[in-house]
């Protein structure tokens, strides 16, 4: 069988298109960039030349003169945590929903010892226009570095230390409040909570929000045990909680993944959900559906939040003097079967 691979297509330049259309490069450039002040006949001639030659503008050349990379980074936490967290798919969907129509590249970077430099360097090199930071680690210097260098950056979630940085977050306290009123509304009397790691701002807000709401609902003291947002930690915390509050009948677990880890423990102890113990999670990640029974939870509008992060970033790219802002989304209660 004779293999006939056609040769790689030669790169067509503005120059050639111009020659074929019988005009100057400048005119072709205008047509390509949709400048209106071009004679209709000439425009058509140029467009014909473009399609017959199969011309595609070279982005590197354009970037060189426009000083725009047309690409932004999405910086995710190190691989261990990333793998298996259904959260990220939604973030990616949200971000690319605004980037894709604009033809902007979404460059994925996972944080690691060398990656911080990488992001900063690429930004300086003009290879990236800005960065969206997810979960940037508690001790991570990257946000401050970018802010100080006046580079476009948006953070997901409130930074743990005050920083002049734009961020997008969900109203964590309000979400915890929804969980509290739902559990109380169900008539539960012995309500406890499994929180996230207390050095995490989101975990803090959920816990204080939950306590505040419970207090205003007449339940002053709430026992809490901290996990670290992983499934395993949910199981461990559940065991401890059963020891500390043997008669609990209501539970707010600060992440769906931890709830997913807690459920088997309850089952093993013979506690029926929701009959004996009502559970409300947080996130509405796909882990909520993986639960049995399906988890009642607090939904974060992750896709919308991610899209907003992208929009905020692009504003900074276009207008470097855009003031920083905090955009806070409202969570909603999703009632399924666990409470």
Partner DNA sequence: TTGTAGGCGTTATCAG
Partner DNA sequence: CTGATAACGCCTACAA
Residue 54 or residue 112: which is nearer to DNA going by CB? 54
Provide the 10 A C-beta neighbour count for residue 22.
Answer: 11
The residue from 64, 138, 272, 328 that contacts a second copy (CB under 8 A) is: 64
Of the two residues 52 and 189, which places its CB atom closer to DNA in the complex? Answer: 52
Residue 100 interacting partner from DNA, a second copy, none (CB closer than 5 to 8 Å by kind):
a second copy
- Residue for token pair 């020659």: 19
Burial of 229 (0-12, 13-18, 19+ CB in 10 A): buried
320 touches a second copy (CB under 8 A): yes
User: Which residues, other chains included, contact 171 with Cβ-Cβ below 8 Å and sequence gap of 6+?
Assistant: 328, 329, 330, 331
Binding span for DNA by CB under 7 A among 52-60, 77-85, 137-145, 268-276: 52-60
CB atoms within 10 A of CB 11: 9
Cβ 26 to DNA shortest distance, Å: 3
Which window, 53-61, 106-114, 145-153, 309-317, contacts DNA (CB under 7 A)?
53-61
* Tokens matching residue 311: 């929009």
For 113, residues 6+ apart whose C-beta sits below 8 A from its C-beta are none
DSSP class of 317: H
Partner whose binding site includes residue 51, from a second copy, DNA, none (CB under 5 to 8 Å by kind) = none
* DSSP codes joined into one string, 247-282: T--EEEES-HHHHHHHHHHHHHTT--TTTT-EEEEE
CB of 31 to DNA, least distance (A): 8
Q: Which of 48, 53, 64 is nearest to 15 (CA)?
A: 53
Map tokens 């559990």 to a residue: 183
When binding is defined by CB under 7 A, the residue of 4, 6, 9, 36 that contacts DNA is 36
The token pair at 209 is 């929000």
Chain contacts with DNA (rule: CB under 7 A): 11, 13-15, 23-27, 29-30, 32-33, 36-39, 42, 55-58, 61-62, 64-67
Chain contacts with a second copy (rule: CB under 8 A): 3, 5-9, 11, 54, 56-61, 63-64, 69-71, 74, 79, 82-86, 88-90, 92-93, 96, 100, 103, 105-110, 112, 114-115, 118, 121-122, 124-127, 148-150, 164, 231, 260, 264, 267, 285-287, 289-290, 292, 320
């Amino acid at each position: 069988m004779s293999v006939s691979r056609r040769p790689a297509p030669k790169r067509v330049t503005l120059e050639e298109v111009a020659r074929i259309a019988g005009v100057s490069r400048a005119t072709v450039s205008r047509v390509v960039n949709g400048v209106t002040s071009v004679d209709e006949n000439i425009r058509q001639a140029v467009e014909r030349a473009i399609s017959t030659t199969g011309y595609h503008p070279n982005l590197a050349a354009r970037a060189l003169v426009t000083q725009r990379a047309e690409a932004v980074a999405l910086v995710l936490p190190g691989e261990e945590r990333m793998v298996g967290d259904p959260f990220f798919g939604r973030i990616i969907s949200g971000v690319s929903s605004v980037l894709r129509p604009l033809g902007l590249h979404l460059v994925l970077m996972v944080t690691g010892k060398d990656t911080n430099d990488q992001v900063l360097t690429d930004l300086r090199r003009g290879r990236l226009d800005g960065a969206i930071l997810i979960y940037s680690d508690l001790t991570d210097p990257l946000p401050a570095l970018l802010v100080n260098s006046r580079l476009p950056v948006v953070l997901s979630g409130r930074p743990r230390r005050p920083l002049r940085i734009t961020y997008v977050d969900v109203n964590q306290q309000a979400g915890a409040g929804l969980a509290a009123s739902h559990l109380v509304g169900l008539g539960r009397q012995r309500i406890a909570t499994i929180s996230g790691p207390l050095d995490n701002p989101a975990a803090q807000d959920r816990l204080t929000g939950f306590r505040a709401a419970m207090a205003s609902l007449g339940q002053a003291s709430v026992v809490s045990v901290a996990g670290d947002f992983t499934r395993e930690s949910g199981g461990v915390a559940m065991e401890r909680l059963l020891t500390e509050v043997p008669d609990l009948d209501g539970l707010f677990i600060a992440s769906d993944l931890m709830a997913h880890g807690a459920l088997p423990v309850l089952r093993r102890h013979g506690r029926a959900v929701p009959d004996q113990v009502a559970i409300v999670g947080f996130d509405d990640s796909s882990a909520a559906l993986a639960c049995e029974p399906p988890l009642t939870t607090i939904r974060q509008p992750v896709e919308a939040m991610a899209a907003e992060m992208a929009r905020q970033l692009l504003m900074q790219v276009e207008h470097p003097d855009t003031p920083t802002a905090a955009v806070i989304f409202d969570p909603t209660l999703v009632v399924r079967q666990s409470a």
